[in-house]
Amino acid sequence: MADLPTNILSLPPGAIRKCFTPLENNPEIMSGLGWRLGLSRAVKFIDIYSIDEAEIIAMIPRPCYGLLLVFPVNKASEAFRTEEDTTLHSYDGSGEEEVIWFQQTIGTGCGIIALLHCLLNGKARSFVEADSDLGKLYQEILPMQPLQRANALCSSHALEMANELAAREGQSEVIAANTSMDLHFVCFTKSGSDNLWELDGRRKGPLIRGTLRAEEDVLDDAALNMGVRSFLRREAESGCQDLRFSLIGLVPA
């Protein structure tokens, strides 16, 4: 059974404008949601069963355009987030930039925010049809400041309806939109400038985790070491015994 996202109480006080029904980190659900919004069927999400076994990784269609990781929110993950965020400036970008980042102001909406981070950055963006709901939404919010973007996402009827349909297609019991959760989504993607980014709507902005070679994608060793493996290593070193992690990737269909 796939995992579900996020702790509504972990968002900054007063930040939540509305709540969406939580999504599963399920490749069929995320593929269907992406297609419904305007993603080309030339790509789809698949389960990533291992990030350490070369034989399993070798079976995955490449390139991998982005990763969606679900992880348990705990004292260790919150301590790292809080400490790292103290060193960062709040993001205030707008317009065409290396990556587009979305502040999460939708309670239990980290799944849809992570999906948008994945589909609207790097090479994945080229698979979004310009005249689709997602393509039009991207053009609308591109020139906006971060809070304006977040408000536009909250107000998007097409986005909310697509999310609600997807939430009811999963294997798990549908969870009410205002339910407190202890799991959260984060996206890893590669930009056109070959940088690896961690994109999380709960942070102060987009986080650059390193630089890749032109031929490397988010499933190459360098990207995994700077991204998902580093993330999981921190959890292990903290003594975390919670194994509720799941990973899916956007790949050629």
Q: Is 157 annotated as catalytic?
A: no
What residues pair up with 70 in beta bridges, in sequence order?
185, 246
User: Of the listed 118, 154, 184, 187, which one is catalytic?
Assistant: 184
Measure the CA–CA gap between 225 and 59, rounded to whole angstroms: 19
Please give the helix or strand (H or E) that residue 175 lies within, else none.
none
Per the listing, tokens 């679900």 go with 70
Measure the CA–CA gap between 120 and 127, rounded to whole angstroms: 9
User: Of the listed 64, 110, 154, 187, which one is catalytic?
Assistant: 110
Measure the CA–CA gap between 67 and 198, rounded to whole angstroms: 10
Q: Is 184 annotated as catalytic?
A: yes
Q: Nearest CA to 25 among 10, 47, 57? A: 47
Measure the CA–CA gap between 37 and 187, rounded to whole angstroms: 18
Q: Which residues contact 238 (CB under 8 A, 6 or more apart)?
A: 74, 75, 76
Please give the helix or strand (H or E) that residue 56 lies within, else none.
helix 54-58
Known catalytic residues are 110, 184
